[in-house]
Structures are given as structure tokens and as C-alpha cells.
Amino acid sequence: MSGFDVGASVRVRLAYPTGHCRTPFYCRGKTGVVERVCGAFRNPETLAYGQDGEPQLTLYRVRFAANDLWADGEPGVAVEIELYEPWLESA
């Protein structure tokens, strides 16, 4: 069972861990809306270091307004980013 439903408002954690990280810098601390629950997959952040990627993590497709991500983002344009659940919190 996933922690967020489609339509939920979520914020990307504002964190900067060392090592491999699949979450883009430009979306950290930003708020978006869950567009899709993609399912559970092995954790790419541990797979990068030769581990088994377990436990699996839920992956979400989150929609952001481009002008919320970048100062010069075009109004009315959306960007969708797939993010794993540990990087998301309720907004």
C-alpha cells in the first residue's frame, strides 16, 4: 500500500545526502501533485553500491508547475518527475 494517493499534494524533502541520489536538485523543497503511483521498485540509491535494493520503494510521478521549479519557468507549463516515497512528505 502506498503512502500517497493520486491528487495528493506533496513536498520533496530538502536534503543533500552524499553519494548516489536519484532526486534532482531543482525539485528539492518544492511542492507538486501526485499524478500516478508507478508501483514498487528496488531502491536505486542502494543498487548503485552493489546492494540488493531491498526493501522495495514506491515510485510516484509528481507534477510541478515549471515556474515553481525555476524563476524563469514558463507559466502554464508542467514538469513531471518520478520520485521515490522516502523523498516525499505531505504538503
Tens digit of each residue's pLDDT (9 = 90 or more) over 23-57 = 999 999 999 999 999 999 998 888 888 889 899 99
Please report the pLDDT score of residue 9 as a whole number: 98
Section 73-85 average pLDDT: 96
Residue (of 1, 3, 27) closest to 13 by Cα position: 27
Residue (of 20, 22, 15, 32) closest to 69 by Cα position: 32
Distance separating the N- and C-terminal Cα atoms of the chain: 20
- Average pLDDT of the chain? 93
Angle at 35 between CA 9 and CA 15, to 5 degrees: 55
Cα gap 13→3, rounded to integer Å: 15
Please report the pLDDT score of residue 2 as a whole number: 61
Please report the pLDDT score of residue 12 as a whole number: 98
Please report the pLDDT score of residue 1 as a whole number: 45
Section 1-22 average pLDDT: 87
pTM across the whole model: 0.90
What domains sit in the chain, N to C, each tagged with a CATH number?
9-90 (2.30.30.50)
Cα-based distances in Å from 61 to 4, 35, 50, 51, 71: 11, 6, 26, 25, 22
